[in-house]
Amino acid sequence: DADVTQTPRNRITKTGKRIMLECSQTKGHDRMYWYRQDPGLGLRLIYYSFDVKDINKGEISDGYSVSRQAQAKFSLSLESAIPNQTALYFCATSDAGTPSSYNEQFFGPGTRLTVL
Amino acid sequence: AQSVTQLDSHVSVSEGTPVLLRCNYSSSYSPSLFWYVQHPNKGLQLLLKYTSAATLVKGINGFEAEFKKSETSFHLTKPSAHMSDAAEYFCVVSPMNTGFQKLVFGTGTRLLVSP
């Protein structure tokens, strides 16, 4: 079974609609992240969370919000979707517990979102 | 500040020939460096990572990378390409000595492998 899962895997929506992307993990990691991937731009960080009560903006948080419902769940919302939010979205986790795992992140399979 | 430059957006090789994917980095702190691979319609998978233990790092599927501080490079190599290596590869840098594990991604190199 996958350690980091994302739902839905694909979504097509219209401009102005509210969308929620969900991420769950069974790795027991404290830290979770949301990224978006655009062709030719690599991955960019949207939000990150060190634990349930600690949520931080990344480099491109405008137009997005997040919720950390539990250690294992981290949701990304687009309150009013716009076409330039069309992208591939990745959730990731990491463990801050040991030096050998320091900085390594584990990624989910991605959600492909299209906003018409 | 950290940044990564992947010098080639596309690399084409024939099956059985060597692979070289180039990466240069800039970091204000001693860096951790990673290579991730993304196969079509899949998430990112860690190939290998450098965290100062050894400058030559061996990863999965026969890939390896050498950290060269004097050249600020972390190029990815494989002696003999396989068709299954066709994918997109990302070089990633992160400062090692901070509590926040911010990853800075390169723009990716697409590896094409022909029969």
pLDDT category of residue A98 using cuts at 50, 70 and 90: low
A-B Cβ pairs (cutoff 8 Å, strict): 53
The pLDDT of A25-53, averaged and rounded, is 92
**Local confidence band at B2 (pLDDT 50, 70, 90 cut-offs):** confident
CB distance B59 to B35 below 8 Å: yes
* Contact yes or no for B43 and A43 at CB 8 A: no
The per-residue pLDDT for range B42-97, each reduced to its tens digit, is: 889 999 998 877 889 999 999 999 999 999 999 999 999 999 999 999 999 887 66
Q: Supply the pLDDT for residue A95.
A: 83
Among candidates B9, B41, B94 on the partner chain, residue whose Cβ is nearest the Cβ of A103: B94
CA distance B82 to chain A (A): 23
CB-nearest partner of B43 from A94, A103, A109: A109
CB burial class (10 A; 0-12, 13-18, 19+) of residue A86?
A: middle
Residues of chain B found within 8 Å of residue A43, distances taken between Cβ atoms: 44, 90, 103, 105
Mutant choice from A103, A105, A106, A107 vs B, greatest count of B C-beta within 10 A = A103
Suggest the residue from A9, A43, A90 to mutate for an interface test with chain B (most B CBs closer than 10 A): A43
Rounded CA separation A79/A81 (Å): 6
